[in-house]
């Protein structure tokens, strides 16, 4: 439930154009729940990446920190299956998503 509320706040903050500090606080709340990201959470993150360029640095940091937690097995499953089944990891393994992220990064640095 806390993850759902955090994502709802994130979606609202992306639309409202909150300051970077406020956005950082809301995104940190999303990952501090200790719960895996849902498919809807991941879709919200990617929608914000696409529509709100000012959020990209923070979202990249949040995704990196979250991926590190999943990779290091900080959840309940130490076998690595948590990493394979995680919604964010599944999305990042999609070739279209990976290419889109590379293009996004390149366009931000032109």
| Residue-wise pLDDT tens digits, 31-84 | 666 677 888 888 888 888 888 888 888 888 888 888 888 777 665 665 667 778
| In the chain, where the domains are located | 2-108
Distance CA 53, CA 33 (A): 25
What's the pLDDT tens digit per position in 65-74? 888 887 776 6
In sequence order, the 6+-apart residues with CB closer than 8 A to the CB of 50 are: 104
What's the pLDDT tens digit per position in 5-15? 444 555 555 55
**How much is the pLDDT for 4?**
45
């Amino acid at each position: 439930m806390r993850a759902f509320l955090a994502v709802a706040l994130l979606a609202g903050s992306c639309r409202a154009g909150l300051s970077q500090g406020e956005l950082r606080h809301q995104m940190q709340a999303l990952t501090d729940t200790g719960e895996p990201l849902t498919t809807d959470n991941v879709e919200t993150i990617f929608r914000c990446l696409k529509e709100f360029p000012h959020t990209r640095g923070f979202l990249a940091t949040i995704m990196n920190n979250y991926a590190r937690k999943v990779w290091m097995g900080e959840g309940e499953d130490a076998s690595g299956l948590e990493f394979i089944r995680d919604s964010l990891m599944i999305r990042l393994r999609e070739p279209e998503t990976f290419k889109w992220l590379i293009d996004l990064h390149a366009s931000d640095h032109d």
